[in-house]
Structure formats: structure tokens, C-alpha cells
Structure 1
Amino acid sequence: MHLALKRTTFTNQSTIGQLSINGQFECYVLEDVVRKGEKVWGKTAIPKGTYNVQVTYSNRFKRLMPLLVNVPGFEGVRIHSGNTAADTEGCLLVGKTQSTDFVGQSRDAYAVLYAQIKDAIDRREPVTITIS
């Protein structure tokens, strides 16, 4: 399974993009601000690139969740629900709707996406995400 996140909207509060699975639109994603130069802890989007995705136990959220592996300069980058940049510290927040600095219906979008990722991993299919 290949996820592709195309960043489309950049503000001084957040970054919003469109996530597709194997070329089909799935949902919107809100991240922290894309910064050039120095990283600001908990307020900077992860670097562009391709990352493996695993489902592992999150000590913070106390459940299994998707984790992006080997993100340079970051640890614990998860895909999860949330609505604004205040809900993320470098993670990817998913939603079915989007507006300025906001994604909506996040829990619904997350439930559908998580099920697809978990199913692929259970079938031992590699899961990757490319962020551009």
C-alpha cells in the first residue's frame, strides 16, 4: 500500500494537504508549519520524503496507531485524529473536510484510514508514505 501526501495549502499556522492511497483520494491532512532552516520542536512539519509506516503501540495514546519510521530529526511521528495545529506535535492529522488551519470529521477519517493500513500490514503488505 502506498500513501501519498501532497501538501497544498501553507499558512503561518499549519500545512494542509491531500492524502491518496494507491492514487485514489482518501482524506485531508493537517500538519504543523513547513519551515525552512531551524526546526521548532512540536511546531514543524516533517521533511519531504518517503517513509515506511508501521502499526505500533503508542504509549501516549494507549493504543495501536500508524507510525512513520526513520523520519530525520523526529521521533514518534504518528497518523491520528485532531483538528488544528494545536492537536499535533509534528504528527499527521487526518480529516474528511478542510478549511483554513482546520480539518474536520477527523475521527471518522482516521477510523477508515487506520482500518486500511492495519489490513495491509496484517496481510504483510509493505506500507509507505511519500510526502511532497
Structure 2
Amino acid sequence: MLRRTVKSALSTEGFLELDGVFQCYTLEPTYREKPGIPVSVWKIMGKTAIPVGSYPVEVTFFSQAKYYSPILSDVPGFTGIRIHIGNFPNDTDGCILVGTKLGVDKVVNSKIAFDALMQEFDGARQNNEGVQITVMDDWGAVPNLTAAAPRQAVAAAAAKSKTPGLPT
């Protein structure tokens, strides 16, 4: 579940939970959604967060960045929406960036958060589990970090990994 918590003129901040447990922080482009109005009316190409909803996710090769990353399917009005490494609003044209820390209009330690998230996706794939992400507006919500300790251990292990071709 991706919970959007803060919107600004430059970005949309939030956090990602897996099975109800905090995984990482998220950064998307500016929130512009107008419920009940077609996406084509409110979307600004490359500068708009995707609409709320639930979307199937699979991991494929991200040729632009030269590594594997999750891609969301069936997003109304959008194509090529990925979860990937990046820190600032200019690093995304609609995709979801992840990080271990959140700043104003930025996420930090993106590669560490991404590597930990990819371990979770690998586990789901090995168990033949389908993956879906639900994006919701939850303005002002805060993550429950007390349950996040096991996930942070995974993140620490991922930080030690040396994945060639991945930026930091």
C-alpha cells in the first residue's frame, strides 16, 4: 500500500507498506488528481502523480536505467510507471521513487530502499505470489516505524550488496 501523506507544488510524498509494515518512503510528481474528471483533463505529461487505485506489478528490465525494476500495469492515462531509484522530483516523469529517509521534496538513500524492496519482490516471485500495489490518499498519515525493524535489517543487508549498474 502506498499512502500519500504530503503534497507540494513540486512533489507528492508518502510511504510504502508491505503487509501493513512500513517499507520505505516514496516521492512522486505533483498531485493533480481530480476525482470523477478524466485523467486527460488534469494530467500534465511528466509532472503528475498517478491516480489512486490498485495496480498489478511485475518486475521487468528498465532499459532507460539498465536494471530490473517493478512496473505498474493498467494505470489510467499513464504508461511505463515504475518504482525506481531517484531522489528529487526531476528524477521522475510519473514514477514512484523510494528512499529510507524523507526530506522536503526529496527521498534519501534511494538505492538502499530500492534494494530492500527488490528483495521483497524476489521473495514474492519465488513463492509464485502475484503483486499488486494500492495507491491511496492518506493526507497527514504517519508510518508506524515500530514494526519496521525487520525491514530495516533487510535494508541494511541490501546496502552491503554490490549490484553492478545501480546508481546510489
Aligned residue number for residue 5 of structure 2:
8
Deviations 1:15-73, CA, capped at 9 Å, x for gaps: 00011000000110000011144211110000000001101122212222100011111
Question: Does residue 1:50 correspond to 2:47, yes or no?
Answer: no
List per-residue Cα deviations over 1:53-110 (Å, max 9, x = no partner). 1011222122221000111111110101111110001000000000110100111000
What CA distance in whole angstroms lies between the structure 2 residues aligned with 1:105 and 1:64? Answer: 18
- Structure with more helix by fraction: 2
Runs (4+) of structure 1 exceeding 4 A deviation are none
Q: Distance in 1 between matches of 2:69 and 2:53?
A: 20
Aligned to 1:21, which of 18, 37, 43? 18
- Identity across matched positions, percent: 44
Q: How many residues align?
A: 129
CA distance in 1: counterparts of 2:89 and 2:25, whole angstroms: 14
- The TM-score with structure 2 as length reference comes to 0.74
Distance 2:63 2:111 in 1: 19
- What is the DSSP-based 3-state SS (H/G/I as helix, E as strand, rest coil) of the residue aligned with 1:29? strand
- Root-mean-square deviation (CA, aligned residues, Å) is 1.0
Q: Distance between the aligned counterparts of 2:10 and 2:100, measured in 1?
A: 19
Does structure 2 retain, via aligned residues, the 8 Å contact 1:54–1:121?
no
Match of 1:82 in 2: 86
The code of the aligned residue for 2:15 comes to Q
Unaligned runs of 5+ in 1: none
SS of residue in 1 equivalent to 2:113: helix
Compare CA radii of gyration and give the structure with the larger one.
2
- Aligned ranges 1:63-102 → 2 under 5 Å: 63-102=67-106
